[in-house]
Chain A
Amino acid sequence: MRRQLKGRQMSILDDLESMVSLSEGTVARAIYSDQEVFDAEIERIYGRSWLFLCHDSQLKESGDFFEAVMGKDNVLVVRQKDGSVAAFLNSCTHRGNAVCRAEEGNARSFLCTYHGWSFGIDGRLKGVPGYKDLYHSDFEKSCYDLVRIAQLDSYRGFWFGTHDAEAPALQDFLGEAGRLGLDQIASRGDMEVIPGIQKFVIKCNWKFAQDNGLDWYHPQVTHASAMREGILPGPKRPSIEHMDQDELTMQDGQALEMARDVGMSGTKFPNVAVLGEYGHSIGGPTTDAHVGEYDPSWRYGDRATAELGEDRTDIAGHPAIFPNIFIAATGQLSLRIPRSPDETEFWWFSFVDKNLDERRRRSTVRAANRVFGPAGILEQDDGENWAQSTMQTYGTASRNVPVLINMGLGRGEVRNEGGLHRIDTVTNEHPQLWMYHCWQKWMMCDSWDELRSSTEPPETI
């Protein structure tokens, strides 16, 4: 059969409707490597969504700043003299040069090192070389302040920004599912960021990483080595005879031998999938499965019960806040920052309760350092899966093979519990499929009302 050549004028974006199928549980591989799709994501998703910038504890003193990324924009988040926080583009209003080249620190002012325009920590243009002699005072300096981002707000110390002045309020955007995700860090205590953000690059599409955060089918294979007895630090995991393992053979012919006794998925592994508006979701076990957390004691305290709600403290999986936040059971937050279709930066923010004694603080820090990040006992085995998955979306033939996200398809009964849409089940792929469904709606819907209504969780998935 002759292959039909695509017309040059035809855009892949005309085909978005067929890229994700909620009824089939499939995703087109083109969405992971097509430049046109990527550019549209930067505009339609990262140009509209609320995006995590940094945590309040990173900005202790007046002038403390952190450089965040919003799509392709570099944004300075700065503590003001009056204690408030401001966020503006790190770009001089004269020629566009960055006014700050450090990733964090403390500033008395921001100087553009090109021609010397100088801005206050509030972003106001203060000094212009030759303002009187060369410009003849022809313009109002206040017209050229650093450009503030459209909206800035925080939830329980987590600062977010959006480029869209029309975006709904942060609280509404997060909804029950997104807020619960952040609550899972905030309700552990008086949380602060431990100094040092781990930043590294994986040659993968950001969506492969993001859906993996919700994936509890992979740990006992991807992390088979880490889950052998005595390697992964933390409490001993329960013995769970979890799933059939027939005909699983390695290259040398030996049986794969998934870590049977320290498994992380299977039929006896109670899971909760949470589906949220705008594409937020939570995937993973309940506390009955007792995995992933070093110290789950915070869940049983009065604070968590009051703040999360008694019937929500059992949700122990990984929250994913659309588009690119992953929250780990270690109480860490990872951003997956898209740089190109096949390049993503990973930024890990690690949190600790500032009231912990020295010994418990140290063990929290060590746990954070040991599990995730590029050298993390778990995460070091993830990156190549995502990079290789991305690479296989380029082939003329391989890109036509759909990505399957259909485990338990049609079996997910969604229960609305006070606005939180949860599915109580076993290991599944519901939240990943939900993420891609909502991704499609973000790419296709022009208005917030349309987006909100088309990402209302269904009764079954």
Chain B
Amino acid sequence: MSTVEQTSQLANVIRQHEIEQFYFHESGLLDDRRFDEWIDLFTEDAEYFMPIRRTMSGNDIGREFTKPGEIAFFDDDKKLLASRIKKLGTGRSWSEDPPSRTRHLITNITVLSDDGTEMEVRSNFHVYRTRLHRELDNWVGHRVDRLRRQEGGLMIAHRVIYIDQTILDSANLSVFF
């Protein structure tokens, strides 16, 4: 392996490490319910989108997920994300009182593209939630993020959350992904 190749590989390892550390930090903020810090990870122009997945036959499989401009479970900008967090802080957000107990597991982190300013990163998630006595939700899927390099580190400029379930087997989505 040439020195140039080695340098390039080393850069990839460092980049991978940086992204992983970023996601682990983010997951910790969510699981510890530090939402005010979590939202600071998003750029001002951020979009946060969870399309609906549909059970489609092979010939229609290209239409499996809804697109921006269509119906979605989350279709938020940063302002709405901030409203959700403000809502949680009112002390009257009953679907989160008692709070959900979550665990965000992030794996299979893959850099799809990198133009120096922004990276497109795919990762798998498993969000495990229990609430009240025996309420249990398991949400599994993948996210595609656009991570922007800002002064001070990475920020999320765009997040699309692809969930595996079609008929969502949950009473609500009162947590974040």
Contact = CB atoms under 8 A, between A and B. Distances in A.
A, B in one complex: yes
Interface of A: 100-107, 194-204, 222, 224-226, 228, 230-231, 233, 250, 254, 256, 345, 348, 350, 361-362, 365-366, 368-370, 373-375, 377, 379-381, 383-385, 387
A224 B92 contact: yes
Interface stretch (B34-42, B152-160, B164-172): B164-172
Contacts, number: 141
Interface string B29-69: 00000000000000000000011101111011001001101
A225 B92 CA distance: 5
Interface in B134-177: 166-174
B24 to A, nearest CB: 25
Contacts of A228: 86-87, 90, 92
Q: List the 6 closest pairs (A to B, CB-CB), nearest first.
A: A196-B71, A383-B171, A369-B75, A196-B66, A105-B60, A225-B93
B168 A384 contact: no
19 contacts: A101-B55, A105-B60, A196-B66, A197-B52, A199-B52, A199-B166, A200-B168, A201-B171, A231-B83, A231-B90, A368-B71, A369-B73, A369-B74, A369-B75, A370-B75, A374-B170, A379-B172, A381-B172, A384-B132
Given A222-B94, A225-B93, A228-B86, A370 B80 contact: yes
A350 B170 CA distance: 20
Contact of A345 (B57, B67, B167): B167
B101 interface: no
Given A196-B51, A225-B94, A369 B72 contact: yes
Tell which of B84, B87, B92 has the most Cβ of chain A within 10 Å: B92
Contacts of A380: 95, 172-174
Contacts of B72: 196, 369
A165 B56 CA distance: 32
Contact of B69 (A197, A233, A362, A384): A362
The secondary-structure label for the interface of chain B is loop
Interface string B123-139: 00000000010000000
B70 interface: yes
B116 interface: no
B90 A366 contact: no
A198 B73 contact: yes
A104 B56 contact: yes
A200 B166 CA distance: 8
Nearest to A350: B71
A202 B167 CA distance: 11
Given A202-B171, A368-B71, A370-B76, 11 more contacts: A101-B57, A104-B60, A198-B52, A199-B52, A199-B167, A203-B171, A256-B92, A348-B71, A374-B168, A375-B174, A377-B83
A421 B168 CA distance: 38
Contacts of B56: 102-105
Nearest to A107: B57
Contacts of A198: 52, 71, 73, 168
Nearest to B76: A370
Contacts of B92: 224-225, 228, 250, 256
Contact of A196 (B70, B88, B132): B70
B70 A195 contact: yes
Contacts of A383: 95, 171-172
A371 to B, nearest CB: 11
A226 B87 CA distance: 6
Contacts of B86: 228, 230-231
A376 B92 CA distance: 16
Contacts of B95: 380-381, 383-384
Contacts of B94: 222, 224-225, 381, 384-385
Nearest to A379: B172
Contacts of A226: 87
B56 to A, nearest CB: 5
Contacts of A381: 93-95, 172
B173 A195 contact: no
Given A224-B92, A373-B73, A377-B83, A105 B171 contact: no
A197 B168 contact: no
B1 to A, nearest CB: 48
Nearest to B50: A375
A199 B87 contact: no
A106 B174 contact: no
A146 B170 CA distance: 34
Contacts of A373: 73
A196 B51 CA distance: 8
A92 B92 CA distance: 51
B60 A102 contact: yes
B53 to A, nearest CB: 10
B57 A105 contact: yes
